[in-house]
Amino acid sequence: MMQEQQQRPSANVVLQLENVVRVYHQGSRKVVVLNGAHAVIHPGESVALVGPSGAGKSTFLHIAGLLETPDQGRIIISGRDCTGLSDGERTGIRRRELGFIYQFHQLLPEFSAQENVAIPLMVAGVKRSKALERARELLVYMGLEQRLTHRPAELSGGEQQRTAICRALANSPRLILADEPTGNLDPKTSARVFDAFVDLIRQTGVSALIATHDMILASRMDRVLRMEDGLLIETAPGDLLNH
């Protein structure tokens, strides 16, 4: 494949991925998941990532979030080329720049909702009192003011995921990476949680890249990237509901 000319990193672009290639080997079989994928995420925009199961959406998110290293290509976050960084440097960028939301909330069962949201702040060096106050503000915004002291087992599925969303936003990241954030919820709860999520990211001005199978939810994003044959193809949000 002919290599495309590399773009100069821009500090005005939150996430820039260039010519990303990822290949897995299953015995003697070679599986090409990403085959020169490109993407640019601008400040404050929400972008849906769609495609069938197995197309490589989760792999792409893991590479964008510096959790996995591509076989080829560059990952640029807030103007910094992250290709070839040490594990410690990658961890530092994740803590400062990125927030993660998964299909399963992954809350710590022994801590309250407020404590779960505050933990990333305390890990980053914020005093406990300030971390808890920030956590409270986010949870109240998400309608969980009556659930601050509840542990995950005492929360509904929708409440757990709203808490996980607050945790991802606690450190005021520039970019949220979400992998099927409402995929484990029933349709009615999913719509409510997604509404709250979209409202919160737009209020805070954070960028978001959201992998989802739900075309109705994806159609509400600013842009849509469709994963096909290891590449990302720009798709108009309105076109998703016409197929």
pLDDT for res 238: 65
Judge whether 7 lies within some domain: no
Question: pLDDT tier at 1 (50, 70, 90 boundaries)?
Answer: very low
In the predicted model, is pLDDT for residue 109 greater than 50?
A: yes
What's the per-residue H, E or C state across the chain? CCCCCCCCCCCCCCEEEEEEEEEEEECCEEEEEEEEEEEEECCCCEEEEECCCCCCHHHHHHHHCCCCCCCEEEEEECCEECCCCCHHHHHHHHHHHEEEECCCCCCCCCCCHHHHHHHHHHHCCCCHHHHHHHHHHHHHHCCCCCCCCCCHHHCCHHHHHHHHHHHHHCCCCCEEEEECCCCCCCHHHHHHHHHHHHHHHHHHCCEEEEECCCHHHHCCCCEEEEEECCEEEEECHHHHHHC
* CATH at 225: 3.40.50.300
pLDDT higher at 94 or 239:
94
Judge whether 5 lies within some domain: no
Residues 232 and 40: beta-carbon distance below 8 Å: no
In the predicted model, is pLDDT for residue 95 greater than 80?
A: yes
* Proportion of the chain above pLDDT 70, given as a percent: 93
pLDDT (average), residues 87-98: 88
pLDDT in tens, 173-198: 999 999 887 777 777 778 877 888 88
- Alpha-carbon distance of 243 to 238, in angstroms, equals 10
Judge whether 153 lies within some domain: yes
Q: Which domain holds residue 132?
A: 15-242
Q: Rounded mean pLDDT of the chain?
A: 85
pLDDT higher at 39 or 103:
39
- Residue of 192, 189, 194 whose CA lies nearest to 178: 194
In the predicted model, is pLDDT for residue 133 greater than 90?
A: yes
In the predicted model, is pLDDT for residue 5 greater than 70?
A: no
pLDDT for res 240: 62
In the predicted model, is pLDDT for residue 128 greater than 50?
A: yes
Q: Which residues are CB-contacts of 95 (< 8 A; sequence separation ≥ 6)?
A: 120, 123, 124, 171
pLDDT (average), residues 46-73: 88
pTM of this structure: 0.84
Residue 36: other Cβ atoms inside 10 A: 19
Judge whether 3 lies within some domain: no
pLDDT (average), residues 211-231: 87
Judge whether 10 lies within some domain: no
Judge whether 192 lies within some domain: yes
Judge whether 234 lies within some domain: yes
pLDDT higher at 83 or 139:
139
pLDDT (average), residues 224-228: 90
Strands 207-211 and 15-26: unpaired
Domain count, the chain: 1
